[in-house]
Each structure stands twice: as structure tokens, then as C-alpha cells.
A and B are shown apart, each in its own frame.
Chain A
């Protein structure tokens, strides 16, 4: 099956700093999503981005499907950005999404 690797596994930032999170996947995919899981476990969909670039406030994402990677950019980070960021890819021809193991982000005040 598809392998999904996220890097870095852990990241500590000072408030106001920028960061880039990476998601590599091993095979062609139909779709890709980025999620943020807060400290209470709630998962919020950040982007549905099978290809191209999208922006939402301080967050933006780019997926280059032909090169099998996606990037999530966080600018001017805030303490509320802390949590785990997951990338999930959908296997071609199925409804199944495969999740990476996440990037754990901590933003310090």
C-alpha cells in the first residue's frame, strides 16, 4: 500500500516564526488532505488539496502530485497553532485515506 512520510516529526517554534511541513507519498493518489489535531484530540480539516496551491489566512499548502509531495506553510505562528499536523492521501480508486504519523508542533510564547 501507499506509504506516507511526514517531516519533521517534531518542531518547536517561537511565536511569530514561519515553518514548512512536508508530506511525501510513495504512489499516485487521488486526493490529499491536511489536518490539525488540537491537544484535546479534535481533528480539523485545513486543506483539501489534490494539486496546486491554496491559502487560508496564515496557512497555505502546495501539492505537486507528479513529484509525490505536499507542503504546508505556517506563517507568523501563534501558540494556538500547537498540536499535531497530519497529511492524509487517498489511494487511487478507493475511498480510503492513509494518514501519515504527523508533525508535532509546539509554539512557544
Chain B
């Protein structure tokens, strides 16, 4: 079945460590997105990519980095520069900017 796979589901990070969240899709979608969700809040855009080897900053990109070397993959690195990384991270994809999103099941990151 086509879909988006995020891994891991739960991730614990020590202060000062970088961690990478995986997002893979087999929907042949061109565009991919990373969102952050804090408890009781809506989603905020971190980064998005419209095409391979290209990506754009969203509203809260500071402390995060991404790459888009393959159409299927859009990993997110949460760096030590991100001051408050504990959150629920959601990856999405779409065929283009005039189509709806498909979301992955998310990764819950906790700083310990």
C-alpha cells in the first residue's frame, strides 16, 4: 500500500545531541513537508521541498536542517541549536501545491 512512513515513533534525545527523523514515501509525490505540533496547538511548518535537491524554510526553521537527495526521502535533523525540541513531528507529502496532503503517523521527540 502507498503511504508515508515515519520512524522512529518515539525518540529520546539528550541535551546537546543532534537527532535525525526519517520520512519515506512511496506515493511518487513531488512535494514533502515537515511540521511541528506542540500540545494543544496547531501545526507549524518547519521545512518543505517541492522537488529533489531543493527545499525551503518554513516559519520555524531555526535549529533544524533537512535534505532531499531522493524523491522518496526527506529526513529532518533536529540540531543542538533547537532550544525546545520536545514536540510531535509530522511529515506530509503531496503531488504538487494544488493537491491535498497525506501525513505520516508522526515521531514524538523528548529531550531528557
Residues of chain A at the chain B interface (Cβ within 8 Å)? 1, 4, 30-31, 33, 35, 40-45, 47-48, 86, 88, 90, 94-102
Contacts and interface: CB of A to CB of B under 8 A. Distances in A.
Contacts of A41: 37, 88, 90, 105-106, 108
Interface residues of B, number: 27
A10 to B, nearest CB: 11
A48 B43 CA distance: 17
Interface string B93-112: 00001111111011010000
A43 B42 contact: no
B58 interface: yes
A43 B100 contact: no
A40 to B, nearest CB: 8
Nearest to A44: B103
A96 B45 contact: yes
Secondary structure class of chain B's binding surface, majority of residues: strand
Contacts of A4: 42
Contacts of B68: none
Secondary structure class of chain A's binding surface, majority of residues: strand
A72 B88 CA distance: 25
A33 B103 contact: no
B8 to A, nearest CB: 14
13 contacts: A31-B97, A35-B101, A40-B105, A42-B103, A42-B105, A42-B106, A43-B92, A86-B43, A95-B31, A95-B97, A96-B45, A99-B43, A99-B44
B50 interface: yes
Interface string B22-53: 00000000010101010001111100101000
B31 A101 contact: no
